[in-house]
Amino acid sequence: MNVLERLRTVFGAAVPEGADRAAFAQAVRPASDPRFGDYQANGCMALAKVLGRKPRELAQEIAGAADLAPLAGPPEVAGPGFLNVRLDDAWIAAALHDLLADDRLGLTPPARVQTIVIDLSSPNVAKPMHVGHLRSTVIGDSLARILQARGHRVVRDNHLGDWGSQFGMILWGWKHQRDEARFARDPVGELARLYRAVQARIQGGETAVEDAAREETAKLHAGDPENRALWSRFMPHCLGALQAVYDRMGVHFDVQLGESFYDPRLASVVEDLQRKGLAVESEGAIVVFVEQTEAPLIIRKRDGAFTYATTDLATIQHRVETWHPDQILYVVDHRQGDHFKQLFEVARKWGYQAVDLQHVAFGTILGKDRRPFKTREGDVVGLESLLDEAAAEALKVVRENSPELEPAEQSRVAEVVGLGAIKYADLCQNRISDYVFDWQKMMAMNGNTGTYLQYAYARTRSVFRKGGIAPEAIRAQRPAIVLTHPAERALGVRLLRLPEVLELAAEELKPNILTDYLFDLANAFSTFYEGCPVLKAESPARRDSRLALCELTSRTLKSGLNLLGIDVVERM
d(C-alpha 560, C-alpha 570), whole Å? 16
Instruction: Output the DSSP codes for 117-164.
Output: EEE---PBTTSPPBTHHHHHHHHHHHHHHHHHHTT-EEEEE---B-SS
Residue 328 or residue 456: which is nearer to ligand ARG going by CB?
Answer: 328
| CA proximity to 428, closest of 158, 142, 146 | 142
3 state SS of 336: helix
Query: Nearer to ligand ARG by C-beta: 160 or 498?
Result: 160
What's the count of helices (H) and strands (E) in the chain, helices before strands?
Answer: 24, 13
Cβ 373 to ligand ARG, closest distance in Å? Answer: 16
Instruction: Name which of 335 and 466 has its Cβ closer to ligand ARG.
Output: 335
Helix, strand and coil in the chain, % to nearest 5: 60, 10, 30
- Which CB sits closer to ligand ARG, 12 or 123? 123
Least Cβ distance, residue 348 to ligand ARG (angstroms) = 16
Residues lying near ligand ARG in the complex (CB under 6 A) are found at 119, 122-124, 159, 161, 312, 315, 330, 332
Residue 161 CB, nearest approach to ligand ARG (Å): 3
- Helices 498-508 and 132-149, interaxial angle, to 10°? 130
Report the distance separating Cα 382 and Cα 387, nearest Å.
9
**Cα distance between residue 62 and residue 48, in whole Å:** 11
**Cβ-based neighbours of 86, under 8 Å, separated by 6 or more:** 37, 38, 72, 73, 76
Looking at the Cβ atoms of 152 and 359, the one nearer to ligand ARG is 359
Pick the closer one to ligand ARG by CB: 99 or 169: 169
User: Concatenated DSSP letters for 480-532?
Assistant: PP---SHHHHHHHHHHT-HHHHHHHHHHHT-HHHHHHHHHHHHHHHHHHHHHS
Minimum CB distance to ligand ARG, residue 318 (Å)? 11
CB closer to ligand ARG out of 161 and 479:
161
CB atoms within 10 A of CB 283: 7
Rounded to a whole number of angstroms, the minimum distance from the CB of residue 378 to ligand ARG is 21
Nearer to ligand ARG by Cβ, of 336 and 402: the residue is 336
What's the closest the beta carbon of residue 420 comes to ligand ARG, in angstroms?
Answer: 25
Taking the complex as a whole, how short is the minimal distance between the CB of residue 463 and ligand ARG, in angstroms? 45
Nearer to ligand ARG among residue 71 and residue 117 (C-beta): 117
Which DSSP category does 35 fall into? G
Distance (Å, whole) CA 60 – CA 54: 10
The bridge status of strand 76-78 relative to strand 28-30 is unpaired
Shortest Cβ distance from residue 164 to ligand ARG (Å)? 8
Pairing status of strand 115-119 against strand 153-157: parallel
Nearer to ligand ARG, 281 or 338 (CB): 338
Q: In this structure, are residues 70 and 55 in contact, taking their beta carbons and an 8 Å threshold?
A: no
Residue with nearest beta carbon to ligand ARG: 161
CA distances from 265 to 82, 101, 323, 390 (A): 58, 52, 18, 42
CB of 162 to ligand ARG, least distance (A): 9
CB of 362 to ligand ARG, least distance (A): 12
